[in-house]
Amino acid sequence: MVLSIEELTDSDGVYLVRLARRAIEEYVLNKKRIAPPKDAPSKLYEKAGAFVTINKIIGSREELRGCIGYILPIKPLVETIIDVAIAAAVEDPRFPPLSSEELDEIIVEVTVLTPPQKIEVRDPKEYLEKIVIGRDGLLLKYGPFSGTLLPQVPIEYNWDVEEFLDNLCVKAGLVPGCWKDLNVKIFAYQGAIWKETSPRGEIIRVELSRQKKC
């Protein structure tokens, strides 16, 4: 059964962020993968896609330190969170593995996803009306190429829809503007987001505006 993100409460979000943090710390410190917790609410054993984002506090700002996820609901959510939290910490090819010294400097964020749905258009210009900044994450597929950007990305960079699509093309290893080719498939999904406000600190739901890295 696939979990609906509407079923998730803020208590569930807090649980998932703490689970991600625990998975990261146990793996970085002891090279051990934690087991799925037996005390998790039953709904968190339903399948769902999710991403874990790790940001590092540098001065007064947060900078991306790792981000990995499963777009599709292929595993129970608690297992997905453990998998992608560890992967974000030590397997993101853009960064070296997280060190134990950095554990006090990171912010952990969890995004639970709806299954992607193909955006049907006859003219690519229709994407500009159908995609909503602050609501939609995007997935692009074209032959062997694919890439995704989470809903919070265009908010952080203050992109409009066209810039969102151009950067999605780049993320997939293609040229900006590739989305104008009808052979390129664009999918949309939504996310429920929770994050720490400080390392191991309060956990809040992130409400995206403009209806805000990976």
**Domains defined along the chain, listed by start:** 5-114+191-205 (3.30.700.20), 117-189 (3.30.1490.150)
Looking at every residue in the chain, the average pLDDT score rounds to 96
Contact 28, 91 (CB under 8 A): no
- DSSP character at residue 134: T
What is the sign of the dihedral through the CA atoms of 41, 47, 51 and 52? Answer: positive
Name 58's Cβ contacts closer than 8 Å, sequence gap at least 6.
none
Kindly state the tokens that stand for 131: 């995609």
CA 150 vs. chain centroid, Å, equals: 5
pLDDT at 139: 98
Q: Is 105 helix (H, G, I), strand (E, B) or coil?
A: helix
pLDDT tens string 53-100: 999 999 999 999 999 999 999 999 999 999 999 999 999 999 999 999
What proportion of the chain, given as a percentage, has pLDDT over 90?
Answer: 96
Per-residue pLDDT at 184 exceeds 50 = yes
| pLDDT tier for residue 1 given thresholds of 50, 70 and 90 | confident
Largest CA distance in the chain: 53
Among the listed residues 151, 153, 139, the one whose alpha carbon sits nearest the alpha carbon of residue 184: 139
168: confidence class by pLDDT, cuts 50, 70, 90: very high
In this predicted structure, the answer to whether residue 115 has a pLDDT above a threshold of 50 is: yes
Cα→Cα distances 28→20, 193, 203, Å: 12, 24, 21
pLDDT for 214 beyond 80: no
Mean of pLDDT values over 151-168: 97
Q: How does residue 212 score in pLDDT terms, banded at 50, 70 and 90?
A: very low
Q: What is the pLDDT of residues 12-61, one digit of tens each?
A: 999 999 999 999 999 999 999 999 999 999 999 999 999 999 999 999 99
Backbone angles phi and psi of 14, in degrees to 5:
-60, -45
pLDDT at 210 over 90: no
> Residue 209: pLDDT above 90?
no
pLDDT at 144: 97
Task: Report if pTM > 0.85.
Answer: yes
The answer, yes or no, to whether residue 211 has pLDDT greater than 90, is no
Tell me how far apart the alpha carbons of residues 210 and 135 are, in angstroms, rounded to a whole number: 8
**What is the dihedral sign for C-alpha 30, 35, 39, 40?**
positive
Give the Cα separation of 156 and 169 in Å (integer).
18
Tokens of 192: 């429920």
